[in-house]
Amino acid sequence: MRILSLWSLLAAATLTSASRHLPRRNYSTHDYYAIHVSSPASPAELAAHLGLTYDGPLTALDDHHLFKAPKHDNDIVDDAVQELKKRRRKREVAFEPHILDSVRFTQKQKVKPRHWKRNRLPEIQRVDAQDSDAVKSQEAVARALSIKDPIFGEQWHLFSTKYPGNDLNVTGVWLDGITGKGVTACIVDDGLDMDSEDLKDNFFAEGSYDFNDQVDLPKPRLSDDRHGTRCAGEVAAGKNNACGVGVAYDSKISGVRILSGDITDADEALAINYALGKNDIYSCSWGPPDDGKTMQAPGILIEQAMIKAIQEGRDGKGSIYVFAAGNGASSDDNCNFDGYTNSIYSITVGAIDQTNAHPYYSEACSAQLVVTYSSGSGDAIHTTDVGQNKCTGTHGGTSAAGPLGVGTFALVLQARPDLSWRDVQWLTVMTAVPFDQPSDWTKTSIGKMFSHQFGYGKLDAYAIVEAAKTWELVKPQAWFYSPWMHVKKPIPEGEQGLASVFEVTEEMLKRANFERVEHITLTMNVEHQRRGDLSVELISPDGMSSHLATARRDDDAAIGYVDWTFMSVAHWGEKGIGKWTVILKDTKPNGKTGNFTDWRLRLWGECIDPKIQKLRPMPTEHDDDDHDVISSHPAHTTTISLPAGTPAPSTAPTDVPNRPVRPSNAKTNSPSSSPTTAFETPVSASPSPSQAAEAEKENFLPSPFPTFGVSKRTQIWIYGALALILLFCVSLAIYLFLARRRRMRASRDNYEFEMLDDGDEEGGAGTRMLNGRRRARRGGELYDAFAGESDEELLSESEDEMPYRDEGEFNEKSGAGGASEAGSSGSEMR
Ligand SMILES: *[C@@H]1O[C@H](CO)[C@@H](O)[C@H](O)[C@H]1NC(C)=O
Ligand SMILES: *[C@@H]1O[C@H](CO)[C@@H](O)[C@H](O)[C@H]1NC(C)=O
Ligand SMILES: *[C@@H]1O[C@H](CO)[C@@H](O)[C@H](O)[C@H]1NC(C)=O
């Protein structure tokens, strides 16, 4: 009898999931609850107990289900759970298992504020002058591939005839027969016109759904539902007689509609990994408002849904997420204030225009991996539009850049279906092309140039597909978490900063099975009366600086950062061993002040031994609730106020990203009042216009110094930046050396230096160690195949001079990696 009922339950569950979709939701009549139900209780039993209606499984996540109740002010589920807890505390009920114990997580669903689409209406002033040789080669390519699409000639992002070379460099990939066959990209957006002549042959209905109207086909229904269709055209417009072609014109394209109506976190979770077994890439050209004052991350259900896709999508290789970087640059916005673009699971794609210039809208941040073409300097992206046979030449913003990345990754996956989500990120880092445009280009430990404005450079479809063909797969992902670093100090206003250091030892990483860094994340808490005043910088052991946060003029929020996680890809390939320094500044001396509470560093990267590496446990809402748990042997932090007059890192050239420099050769739309001139001061070495013109192809420095294949002007930038970094490192070294001497003399209660681990001397038994002096490493050794163009090693030389090797004791236990960080499921429930 028991078995029978279990069996029927199982059958019912299978049936519900087979029916594919949950019953229609109506947010004006009902409340919805997403609940993680653990066995042995069944959702039906739980619904009966709570007086809810069971709607079905929330397929985006394991063991999560959706329930509903008529609209009510209270949170019925949480109230019941809290009530049980209270009665147990008061011993009013016996401690025996209760059905509510099966509630692992519950969240009453709220209608979300709408995401912003990341398109920008471009100013169009088309130049007619074309390069006649380029026109001939473009025609030859079209003939060779029998491309007859009427606007193919206008699709400069595929083949530029006005600025030869300023395109995706994709036609060679097509000529090799790689056109996206067998790969499916899903456009998560405001719909997709599956009836368009240009899209209908590639449209993939099984991967599609409309979460706004809750019907199967994501047909654009509102008058401004054009965005998704335009993005879809960029990826997979067919080779036919309509409009142009997509980057991956033989790939399949599906659409999930979420931007045109009310949705909740549960809906978005369902959308973000919809048809997980069938969609390979999710294209997201939207996000929280790019208004320079929003700081918003995906809710826990959405984050978990993305992680499920990363772990299970593409047969365990991981779904590919592509997010548009955001269009708020002219309002000081930064993609690190957006929890979607700064997720380690998404590839953040920013924009450059047809002259390779930075368009006024494209946001910079340390989480940005790459850029590609979009609107600016008089033209925009030409693609399919809503309608049976309609085209547009005005698709723009970072919205239009993201899908070009998606199309490129579709080509990569056709060439190598076995690549993991991290291999795709690696390939992007290794093959992106830095270009001649002033920015804070900095050479990383593995010899790649990184800029907060342009990531690792622009996508080159040919280069990435060629590299993919012979790419050796990376080992599984490992991670290392530092303990919470308790700073708890007021932040001085102005150029002074508050620095806090955590040293990662070789032993810590070995225990975490951690070989080398890919992403780093830094979670922090800061109390502040004006959030927009704050800036955060992270300096790695190799001396690379990430601008995690930059000041935002419109961000008046009277809170600081609450468990906010920043991300950086600028440390890609570093070993991670040594001192990581966070520098927090209150950049505006305006009387609004605050305190640096705490921070925690996480390194994510490749493991040492794949056999023992586990998958990351699902994060929960309460992962960061252990702030004030002082582990028995607290880690050793030093917090210092940088005295005024010390060359604080803000004066180093790495401060550029929030001050994009207006490129000289571009007609940008940026207002002349934009803060672009600020950084021009340190570059007093800039040549006069006439010198610059004649010296364009020369070496800036004598021949042993490489030119990076860029103009003299950019060389000056690069060398100027490197020289300033060197200067900064040396100054910091001197400063730290003096500080250390002073500290050794000073008593421990000196207010400038806080020693948080007085008890350490006795406690660290078994885990104590002294670090040897770190050897300077050549990043290039790791990746000879991709080693950069030069052997510039200013950074690694200068770092060696730092008197870093004193404080050596750390608690290994708190630096959890692999196994030791496994989530304890009991704490998940509030
Ligand atoms: C929700 O229910 C109300 C009342 O029955 C109805 O007027 C409304 O159209 C429904 N909305 C949706 C989206 O079904
Ligand atoms: C573009 O692709 C071609 C092959 O079609 C390749 O030879 C070239 O190196 C690539 N890159 C550039 C910048 O042209
Ligand atoms: C910073 O800490 C001080 C001392 O604890 C406190 O008085 C002040 O209110 C804090 N500032 C903020 C913005 O929370």
The whole-number pLDDT of residue 729 equals 60
Flag whether 403 is in a domain: yes
| Ligand 1 pocket at CB < 6 A | 26, 28-29
Q: Are 591 and 560 in a shared domain?
A: yes
Flag whether 343 is in a domain: yes
The whole-number pLDDT of residue 496 equals 87
* DSSP string over 533-578: GEEEEEE-TTS-EEEEE---TT---S--EEEEEEEE-TTTT----E
**Ligand with the closest atom to the CA of 170:** 2
Flag whether 342 is in a domain: yes
| Pairing verdict, β 116-117 and 286-287 | antiparallel
Tokens of 108: 């009453």
CA angle at residue 825 from 821 to 830, to 5 degrees?
A: 120
Residue of 64, 115, 227, 395 marked active site:
227
Flag whether 292 is in a domain: yes
Atom of ligand 2 nearest to the CA of 173: 5
Q: Which of 408, 437, 469 represents a domain boundary (last residue)? A: 469
Is 411 within 8 Å of 173 (Cβ atoms)? yes
Residues in Cβ contact with 487 at an 8 Å cutoff, skipping those fewer than 6 apart: 498, 500, 596, 597, 598, 599, 637, 639, 754
List the strands of the sheet with 497-504, edge to edge: 545-549, 534-539, 578-586, 497-504, 638-641, 754-755
Comparing CA positions, the residue from 368, 375, 545, 544 lying closest to residue 458 is 368
Residue nearest to atom 1 of ligand 3 (CA): 595
Compute the distance between CA of residue 105 and CA of residue 269 in angstroms, rounded to an integer.
Answer: 15
The secondary structure element, H or E, covering residue 276 is none
φ/ψ of 68, rounded to 5, equals: -135, 160
Which one of 488, 493, 527 would you pick to mutate in the ligand 3 pocket, going by the greatest count of ligand atoms within 8 A of its CB?
527
Q: Hunting for tokens 């955060």 — which residue is that?
A: 536
Is 498 within 8 Å of 492 (Cβ atoms)? yes
| Predicted TM-score of the model (pTM) | 0.79
Q: Across the 830 residues of the chain, what is the mean pLDDT of every consecutive 10-residue run? A: 48 48 96 95 96 97 98 96 94 86 97 96 88 97 98 98 98 98 98 98 98 98 98 98 98 98 98 98 98 98 98 98 98 98 98 98 98 97 98 98 98 98 98 98 98 98 98 98 96 94 98 98 98 98 98 97 98 98 97 97 98 96 80 50 46 33 33 28 31 39 50 57 66 63 44 29 29 32 32 34 30 34 32
Tokens of 245: 């072609």
Q: Are 285 and 433 in a shared domain?
A: yes
| Ligand 2 pocket at CB < 6 A | 165, 169, 172, 460, 462-463
Comparing CA positions, the residue from 643, 532, 539, 522 lying closest to residue 583 is 539
Q: Are 199 and 310 in a shared domain?
A: yes
Compute the distance between CA of residue 182 and CA of residue 190 in angstroms, rounded to an integer.
Answer: 25
Ligand 2 mean position, distance from CA 169 (Å): 6
Ligand 3 mean position, distance from CA 590 (Å): 16
The whole-number pLDDT of residue 39 equals 86
Q: Are 765 and 792 in a shared domain?
A: yes
- 594 within ligand 3 shell (Cβ under 6 A): yes
The domain spanning residue 100 has which CATH number?
3.30.70
Is 720 within 8 Å of 713 (Cβ atoms)? no
Amino acid (1-letter code) at residue 147: I
Residues in Cβ contact with 132 at an 8 Å cutoff, skipping those fewer than 6 apart: none
Residue nearest to atom 14 of ligand 3 (CA): 527
Ligand 3 mean position, distance from CA 547 (Å): 25
Ligand 2 mean position, distance from CA 173 (Å): 9
Is 361 within 8 Å of 327 (Cβ atoms)? yes
The secondary structure element, H or E, covering residue 134 is helix 132-144
Q: Which of 108, 124, 159 represents a domain boundary (last residue)? A: 108
The whole-number pLDDT of residue 630 equals 62
Ligand 1 mean position, distance from CA 431 (Å): 51
**Ligand with the closest atom to the CA of 215:** 1
Compute the distance between CA of residue 474 and CA of residue 489 in angstroms, rounded to an integer.
Answer: 41
42-71 burial: b if 16+ Cβ within 10 Å, else e: bbeebbeebebebbbbbbbbeebbbbbbee
Residues present in the chain in total: 830
Which one of 22, 28, 31 would you pick to mutate in the ligand 1 pocket, going by the greatest count of ligand atoms within 8 A of its CB?
28
- 528 within ligand 3 shell (Cβ under 6 A): yes
Between the alpha carbon of residue 344 and those of residues 92, 431, 513, the distances in Å are: 46, 19, 19
DSSP assignment, residue 756?
-
Compute the distance between CA of residue 237 and CA of residue 208 in angstroms, rounded to an integer.
Answer: 17
Please state the separation of Cα 680 from the chain's center in Å.
29
Comparing CA positions, the residue from 310, 197, 321, 198 lying closest to residue 256 is 321
Q: Are 463 and 582 in a shared domain?
A: no
Q: Hunting for tokens 């808490």 — which residue is that?
A: 525
**Ligand with the closest atom to the CA of 526:** 3
Flag whether 743 is in a domain: no
Amino acid (1-letter code) at residue 707: T
Atom of ligand 2 nearest to the CA of 462: 2
Atom of ligand 2 nearest to the CA of 169: 1
Q: Which of 687, 716, 742 represents a domain boundary (last residue)? A: 687
Helix (H, G, I), strand (E, B) or coil at 445: coil
Tokens of 336: 């690190």
Comparing CA positions, the residue from 173, 148, 168 lying closest to residue 158 is 168
Amino acid (1-letter code) at residue 400: A
Flag whether 745 is in a domain: no
Q: Are 403 and 519 in a shared domain?
A: no
Flag whether 502 is in a domain: yes
Strand partners, 547: 537
Compute the distance between CA of residue 373 and CA of residue 364 in angstroms, rounded to an integer.
Answer: 15
Compute the distance between CA of residue 102 and CA of residue 718 in angstroms, rounded to an integer.
Answer: 58
Comparing CA positions, the residue from 656, 724, 659, 665 lying closest to residue 692 is 665
Residue of 31, 55, 189, 655 marked active site:
189
Ligand 2 mean position, distance from CA 168 (Å): 10
The whole-number pLDDT of residue 188 equals 98
Q: Are 320 and 396 in a shared domain?
A: yes
**Ligand with the closest atom to the CA of 487:** 3
Flag whether 692 is in a domain: no
Residue nearest to atom 1 of ligand 1 (CA): 26
Ligand 1 mean position, distance from CA 209 (Å): 20
In this structure, is the dihedral angle defined by the CA atoms of residues 818, 820, 821 and 825, taken in order, positive or negative? positive
Comparing CA positions, the residue from 728, 770, 752, 804 lying closest to residue 499 is 752
Is 580 within 8 Å of 542 (Cβ atoms)? no
The domain spanning residue 498 has which CATH number?
2.60.120.260
The whole-number pLDDT of residue 717 equals 63
| Pairing verdict, β 184-189 and 252-257 | parallel
Is 494 within 8 Å of 587 (Cβ atoms)? yes
Q: Are 615 and 525 in a shared domain?
A: yes
Comparing CA positions, the residue from 552, 595, 624, 528 lying closest to residue 821 is 624
In this structure, is the dihedral angle defined by the CA atoms of residues 476, 626, 829 and 38, taken in order, positive or negative? positive
To the query of whether residue 210 is one of the catalytic residues in this protein, the response is no
Q: Are 404 and 487 in a shared domain?
A: no
- 557 within ligand 3 shell (Cβ under 6 A): no
User: What is the total count of domains within the chain?
Assistant: 4
Residue nearest to atom 8 of ligand 3 (CA): 594
Q: Hunting for tokens 């050239």 — which residue is that?
A: 653
**Ligand with the closest atom to the CA of 596:** 3
Compute the distance between CA of residue 355 and CA of residue 352 in angstroms, rounded to an integer.
Answer: 8
Residue nearest to atom 10 of ligand 1 (CA): 26
Compute the distance between CA of residue 335 and CA of residue 417 in angstroms, rounded to an integer.
Answer: 30
Ligand 2 mean position, distance from CA 145 (Å): 17
Residue nearest to atom 11 of ligand 1 (CA): 26
The secondary structure element, H or E, covering residue 502 is strand 497-504
Kindly provide the residue ranges of all beta strands, DSSP E only, lying in 173-248, ordered along the sequence. 184-189, 209-210
The range of the structural domain enclosing residue 822 comes to: 758-829
Residue of 399, 445, 451, 482 marked active site:
399
Residue nearest to atom 12 of ligand 3 (CA): 594
Q: Are 492 and 351 in a shared domain?
A: no
To the query of whether residue 227 is one of the catalytic residues in this protein, the response is yes
Compute the distance between CA of residue 577 and CA of residue 506 in angstroms, rounded to an integer.
Answer: 6
Atom of ligand 3 nearest to the CA of 560: 13
Is 31 within 8 Å of 73 (Cβ atoms)? no
Q: Are 137 and 195 in a shared domain?
A: yes
Q: Where are the alpha helices (DSSP H) in 440-596?
A: 461-469, 506-511
Q: Are 441 and 302 in a shared domain?
A: yes
The domain spanning residue 432 has which CATH number?
3.40.50.200
To the query of whether residue 825 is one of the catalytic residues in this protein, the response is no
DSSP assignment, residue 713?
H
Which one of 24, 29, 30, 32 would you pick to mutate in the ligand 1 pocket, going by the greatest count of ligand atoms within 8 A of its CB?
29
Q: Hunting for tokens 């030449």 — which residue is that?
A: 393
| Pairing verdict, β 209-210 and 252-257 | parallel
